[in-house]
Amino acid sequence: MGTVVDAANKEANRSVLTNKKVTVVFVLGGPGSGKGTQCANVVEHFGYTHLSAGDLLRAEIKSGSENGTMIQNMIKDGKIVPSEVTIKLLQRAIEENGNDKFLIDGFPRNEENRAAFELVTGIEPEFVLFFDCSEEEMERRLLSRNQGREDDNIETIRKRFKVYMESSLPVIEYYNSKGKVRKIDATKPAVEVFGAVKALFTPLNSVPTIILSHVSA
């Protein structure tokens, strides 16, 4: 019976966004810790949809939106865009997508992001995937990323590290106090990092199989 009860509880804990039930995993860690790289692996192996807050903001700049210039200036300066802008983008992306399980990468980035998202959407993360990586390694990765990002220069990188330490780490500490953080050593090679990530998603994914075998027994 345990597995059925556990599965039912898991179902009840899923959050409601307007009329859609969704499962959300927040993916956090410093700039260049490998969030995007590992999210791509989780999408491929576990069928999640990857929503990167940074990617959504960059797309908003390209779309010619009225907020474009403000967002561009904040990204160039490593600052955090006001929550209402980022939350609207996330909310729209979730509502427009047919999937019901999402990796939200690079969000919440500060206490304002966290509290506003919870208030507006009612969504609580299933867990928080935290990529722990040394600053030295993150700086090396960002300087050789070569994706043409305007914020991958040493001046902006230093600002992003400062914002991460001052504003983003407290959010991770908040979720840690609630027992939600799953910390991964992200300094290792990407294949090894994914080995640790995979182990976290496998139990979630195996729940329906357990229910089926229970029912048919």
Ligand X SMILES: Nc1ncnc2c1ncn2[C@@H]1O[C@H](COP(=O)(O)OP(=O)(O)OP(=O)(O)O)[C@@H](O)[C@H]1O
Feature table: binding site for a ribonucleoside 5'-phosphate = 58, 79-81, 106-109, 149, 160
In angstroms, the CA 117 to CA 125 distance is: 11
Measured between alpha carbons, how far is 206 from 209 in angstroms, rounded to an integer? Answer: 5
Closer residue to Mg ion, CB minimum distance, 17 or 78: 78
Of 31, 51, 32, residue with least CA distance to 43: 51
- Tokens 């040394």: give the residue: 134
- For residue 108, which amino acid is it? P
* Partner from Mg ion, ligand L45E5XJ5, ligand X, none binding residue 125, C-beta < 5-8 Å depending on class: none
Closest CB to ligand L45E5XJ5 among residues 109, 180: 109
Q: Among 63-71, 75-83, 165-173, 188-196, which window interacts with ligand X (CB under 6 A)?
A: 188-196
CB–CB of 168/118 below 8 Å?
no
Point out which span in 49-57, 124-132, 185-193, 194-202 binds ligand L45E5XJ5 (CB under 6 A): 49-57
Please report, as a single letter, which amino acid is at residue 118: E
> Using CB distances below 5 to 8 A depending on partner kind, what does residue 33 bind out of Mg ion, ligand L45E5XJ5, ligand X, none?
ligand X
Those residues whose C-beta lies under 8 Å from the C-beta of residue 91, and which sit 6 or more positions away, are 17, 120, 121
Dist CA 179 CA 89 (whole Å)? 28
Examine residue 125 and tell whether it contacts ligand X (CB under 6 A).
no
Q: Which stretch binds ligand L45E5XJ5 (CB under 6 A): 11-19, 46-54, 171-179, 207-215?
A: 46-54
Judged by DSSP in three states, 54 sits in helix
Q: Of the ranges 5-13, 47-55, 95-103, 180-188, which one interacts with ligand L45E5XJ5 (CB under 6 A)?
A: 47-55
In this structure, are residues 104 and 35 in contact, taking their beta carbons and an 8 Å threshold?
no
- SS3 assignment, position 16: strand
Answer yes or no whether residue 92 interacts with ligand X by CB under 6 A. no
- Our finding on whether 34 is near ligand X (CB under 6 A) is yes
Task: Please report whether residue 193 would count as binding ligand X according to CB under 6 A.
Answer: yes
Contacts of 99 (CB under 8 A, 6+ apart): 47, 48, 49
Q: Which residues bind ligand L45E5XJ5 (CB under 6 A)?
A: 31, 52-54, 57, 74-75, 78-81, 86, 106-107, 109, 113, 151, 160
Q: Which residues bind ligand X (CB under 6 A)?
A: 29, 31-37, 54, 106, 141, 145, 189-190, 193
